[in-house]
Amino acid sequence: MSILFSPLRLRSVEFRNRLWVSPMCMYSAVDGMPQEWHHTHLAQFASGGAGLVVAEATAVAPEGRISPRDTGLWNDEQRDAWTPIVRAIHDRGAVAGIQLAHAGRKASTWWPWADDRGSVPVGDGGWSTVAPSPVAFDGFDAPIALEITGIDNVVDAFAAAARRALDAGFDVLEIHGAHGYLLHQFLSPLSNQRTDEYGGTLANRARLLLRVIDAVRAESGDDVPLLVRISATDHADGGFTPEEAAVVGGWATEHGADFIDVSSGGLVAHQQIDLFPGYQVALAETVRQGGRIPVSAVGLITAAEQAERVLAEGAADAIFAGREWLRDPHFALRAAHELGADVSWPSQYLRARWR
């Protein structure tokens, strides 16, 4: 019996397997609105057997977008544009999730294939950014330090976006606290130099994340699974550590999170990452064991046997993948075939099931 293709239940939602699609930014939205690209992009993973399909980092406020081409959920028109996409994921048997995000000091940047780099000027559609402290990410414009009112507004924006996501039909919500974006910026001493109740100690640095979890859980009620993505290390001296991540993960579950999605990095340009297959699995195991909480692993997990082994060894409870899904939108069906797992295939694909 394959663990990877065994079901998993979180609150009222059952996932048909534990091979999930990570949120991946497409930089293809218009005024925060997902397009036909997003519909096709996300629905194909559900056809390909994914247990959970998580839509890309979606901004809770206009100034929270990574780039002017990011998706959003700060108005009802965006909510309505997501609805048919969610329906397409459901129609193909997968659970639909969305990652709610605020980019903080890493907002208002050019998309990856643009001719320019760094911050987008206001005249070209950019905007002023915010952060816990007025410390710029290397190569980007300096942000404005959030005052308490601004912090309160961020919490309210996450809650409002969560309500719109649920109204659009999403089954699962994920809070983005990783990759150097706003909530991660508060967690790390490398970007958080505050001396008030949101800076200094780990408890203070985690305060905004926990407030956001509280607000989203209050909006979602008791039935909706809530994931939190964290970067378990900054890969830089003096930064956020795996041991701190385990503590914060434990606090997150006490405040209503169900699952910690363990990633790493993204906070500083001088990070030093040793890349190899499954390079973040040990971080997931540290958070899982230290916090005594369920976690997912992600990061260059590209083969069925590799994913199965991560679960069998107890390092994680589910697998997120990104690039491998882009290379093969039917990754789960291929993995099931390779592992000999008896899973449901779309009727249109049955001819490829065994031979």
pLDDT at 338 over 90: yes
Map out the domains of the chain as residue ranges: 8-352
pLDDT (0 to 100) of residue 355: 64
List the structure tokens of 105: 């000091």
φ/ψ region of 302 (left if φ > 0, alpha if ψ in -120 to 50, else beta) reads: alpha
What pTM was computed for the model?
Answer: 0.96
Query: Phi/psi of residue 13, each to 5°?
Result: -110, 130
The CB-side HSE value for 31 (13 A sphere, CA atoms) comes to 6
Q: What is the pLDDT of residues 265-310, one digit of tens each?
A: 999 999 999 999 999 999 999 999 887 899 999 999 999 999 999 9
Q: Which of 181, 198, 279, 349 is catalytic?
A: 181
Mean pLDDT, all residues of the chain: 97
pLDDT at 128 over 80: yes
User: pLDDT over 90 for what percent of the chain?
Assistant: 96
List the structure tokens of 158: 């996450």
Among 339, 346, 353, 348, which Cα is nearest to 309's? 339
Q: What is the pLDDT of residues 186-244, one digit of tens each?
A: 999 999 999 999 999 999 999 999 999 999 999 999 999 999 999 999 999 999 999 99
Query: CB–CB of 210/155 below 8 Å?
Result: no
**Which CATH architecture is the domain 8-352 placed in?**
Alpha-Beta Barrel (3.20)
* Alpha-helix residue ranges (DSSP H) falling in 168-259: 182-187, 202-205, 207-220, 242-254
Q: What is the pLDDT of residues 84-99, one digit of tens each?
A: 999 999 999 999 999 9
pLDDT at 12 over 70: yes
CA dihedral 117, 113, 330, 80 (to 10 degrees): 80
Q: What is the DSSP letter of 141?
A: P
User: Three-state SS for 319?
Assistant: strand
Catalytic residue check, 27? no
Query: CB–CB of 93/48 below 8 Å?
Result: no
